[in-house]
Chain A
Amino acid sequence: MKQIPNDEKAVVIIGSGAGGGTLAYELTKAGIPCVVLEAGPFLKNEDYRNNEWEAFQQMAWLDPRTTSGSWRVATDFPTLPAWIVKAVGGTTTHWSGATPRFKDYEFKARTTYGDIAGATLLDWPITLEEMAPYYDKAEMAMGSTHRHGRPALPANNNYKVFANGAERVGYKLYATGPYATNAEPYDGRPASIQDGFNFQGDKNKSKWSTLVREIPRALETGLLDLRPESHVVRITHDASGKVDAVVYADKDGNLHQQAARIVCVAGNSIETPRLLLLSESNRFPKGLANSSDQVGRNYMRHMTGSVYARFDKPVHMYRGETMAGIIADEAANKPERGFVGGYYMETLSLGPSFLAAFADPGAWGPEFAEIMEAYANTAGMWIVGEDMPQATNRVTLSETVRDKWGLAAPNVHFDDHANDVAMRNYAYEHAQALYKAVGAIDSHRTPPYPSTHNLGTCRMSARAEDGVVDKWGRAHDVPNLFISDGSVMTTGAAANPTLTIVALAIRQAEHLARELKAGNI
């Protein structure tokens, strides 16, 4: 593997997940050497465990975090606001694979939805038209089913219930994808064996992640210096205000410094703003790149919830691809439903270990036992829709809690917006109606899990005062600092975010390569 000296001014990427891993591959492919600093270990597919709690303990980001606000996660999981992975490949190792694109109007949320009280809506500085070629590239990279000649995955049991229910309530836009897992061998990786373990890492490598594609390919170019167990604790800058190095702690807590000519931050939407806030200085007293005071604000997590339904016949929802089932009929802006924006319905399955913890956190007694008792006859779905950005939904530094390096832990504050609540209630009702239409004896509403989609905390904006980065992900305040993950999302759209994160990273890499060649950075 390439070794870039610590005093050589390198292109430094922080994080190796959807954003960072993609950027590393695209840049090295274009002949640009990169250092990738990844806080987590370099686990391989064979290290993964087909066991919910063991996998979670092995890979989740479990550094101290705190929560506040009226969201239920703050009560049920006060130290676990989000489910994010700390390992090479980032959260793409645990993701399931749903890859819908954002819609045209979702890039123009402020214009489309108007002035919604309490929301800090903004139009993106880019359009779907500009994104379309990058969506194509991302779908091909990730091997999304139903796209570019990739065949559909077959129907598993959970999908059979879901799709039949959809048909009976009159939905049309249902299918087993788009879903970034191979239905047939593709791109050097095998077809799915429907092993049912996605959230635990896919041992079979049929599911796309930067661990199976971008990272190994970037390493093959001979231009990637990948440093696992390297937790970046500060980004420093020179007298002119340009970033010039990053400081990171290795696994034993020893500090190292890597000189940088460009820094790209892709630590996911909680760690990215945290790192900028931790990097405050005399010149940037509110945190690096934070003259707008927008770093950490407008945190979005999608309107989510789940519905599990019981039948008098077996379902065995856990057999097969977890989320290979999508209904898009409700993913449209129809304000007559009582809320703006739309949502998707997607199949979801948890094993008994996780279902017990998440089905109705805190519940006990015969009714709870009945839910668990019906496990084999249960079908499940997730609802995921656009939530409203709010200035007060925010990642800040804790005044009291420190991580093992002594650094301030992030606090995640979140209150549902009235629009989020209205959408969730509507979505729950329609999900339950769908299952009823296909013969459910009963169904129950499961509240949001710790956030798997974390967005918006360094948002893209046309005007510097409205956000943190420009249309290329470049910090408004710092010309050689880039943000390369879901934090840049101006608004969240209804779709699962990863396809868009990857598309944005491919686009950013092209821009960076062009600018570097032209000598502009």
Chain B
Amino acid sequence: METTKRRLLIGSATATLMASTFAKIAFAKLPLDLGGDSDAKKTLVRMIRVMFPHKKFADAPYERTADAVFRAAGKTPAETIAFLTSLRELQESGFMKLDDKAAYASLKKIETTPFFKLVKGTTVTTLYDDPEVWAALGYEGPSFEKGGYIKRGFNDLDWLPEPRIEEYAGAGQ
């Protein structure tokens, strides 16, 4: 990111203030970063985890995804305000206190909102594009520099018989 990162506090009052302040400056270029310990970020991280629950993923990839969501939400002041408002609403609804099932149900209710879609769309292309996640899923990623997979297990599946690779030589072809 070429622009400076900013720490923003979320609240309806701040949002209103931001609307007037940021409208004047080149806000479109400011990535949002709500910091590792803010309540807003914690809420967003939890939201993403409930949407895409993987016990074997550590917090770090979810946190990186949340940062990407904040950046995606910061394209225009209007989008930012809408996003911050929705996140605030989620926080205030007691989302953090819900168990996974109840949290899922509460997200289900808002799944058609632009807020939810933004989080979902960004997460799908970010969370699973993370090398730490690849490792957790058993995907080894780039291979050319390592000589491909030809000596690294491209044919190591051993729970099925070796199949024919030639075309069928029998009748009826």
Contact = CB atoms under 8 A, between A and B. Distances in A.
Given A197-B144, A320-B154, A373-B56, A352 B133 contact: yes
Interface in B53-73: 53-54, 56
A352 B155 contact: no
Interface string B134-173: 1001111111110111101111110111111111101011
Given A193-B150, A194-B154, A365-B51, A375 B144 contact: no
B52 A368 contact: yes
A155 B163 contact: yes
A315 B147 CA distance: 20
B154 A319 contact: yes
21 contacts: A53-B125, A146-B167, A156-B154, A157-B154, A160-B157, A173-B173, A193-B144, A193-B149, A194-B154, A313-B159, A316-B140, A320-B155, A351-B139, A353-B125, A353-B128, A353-B129, A356-B129, A357-B125, A357-B128, A365-B51, A365-B53
B124 interface: yes
A366 B53 contact: yes
Contacts of A204: 144, 148
A340 to B, nearest CB: 21
Contacts of B124: 356-357, 364
A167 B124 CA distance: 36
7 tightest CB-CB pairs across the interface, nearest first?
A193-B148, A376-B138, A163-B163, A195-B148, A50-B142, A356-B128, A319-B149
Interface residues of A, number: 54
A398 B75 CA distance: 26
B104 interface: yes
B88 interface: no
Contact of B162 (A160, A161, A196, A373): A160
A55 to B, nearest CB: 11
A53 B150 CA distance: 24
A376 B134 CA distance: 10
Nearest to B55: A373
B44 interface: no
A202 to B, nearest CB: 9
A331 to B, nearest CB: 12
B168 A175 contact: yes
A154 B153 CA distance: 12
A152 B157 contact: no
Interface of B: 51-54, 56, 104, 111, 120, 124-125, 127-129, 133-134, 137-145, 147-150, 152-157, 159-168, 170, 172-173
Interface string A349-361: 0011101110000
Contacts of B145: 50
A313 B56 CA distance: 18
A164 B163 contact: yes
A150 to B, nearest CB: 12
Nearest to A206: B148
Nearest to B164: A163
Contacts of B129: 52-53, 352-353, 356
Contacts of B125: 53, 353, 356-357
A329 to B, nearest CB: 9
Q: Per DSSP, are chain A's interface residues mostly helix, strand or loop, or mixed?
A: loop
B165 A175 contact: yes
A411 interface: no
Interface in A309-326: 313-316, 318-320
Interface string A244-282: 000000000000000000000000000000000000000
A163 B161 CA distance: 10
A51 B134 CA distance: 12
Contact of B54 (A174, A203, A369): A369
Contacts of A401: none
Contacts of B165: 152-155, 159, 163, 175-176
A339 B165 CA distance: 30
Interface in A109-164: 146, 152-157, 159-161, 163-164
Given A154-B155, A369-B53, A161 B137 contact: no
A195 B137 contact: no
A372 B152 contact: no
A365 B124 CA distance: 12
Nearest to A366: B53
Given A146-B166, A160-B163, A314-B138, A369 B52 contact: yes
A116 to B, nearest CB: 27
Given A313-B159, A320-B154, A373 B137 contact: yes
Given A369-B52, A375-B137, 8 more contacts: A159-B163, A172-B172, A175-B167, A176-B165, A192-B148, A197-B142, A357-B125, A372-B54
Given A194-B154, A364-B120, A164 B148 contact: no
A196 B155 CA distance: 12
A150 B20 CA distance: 69
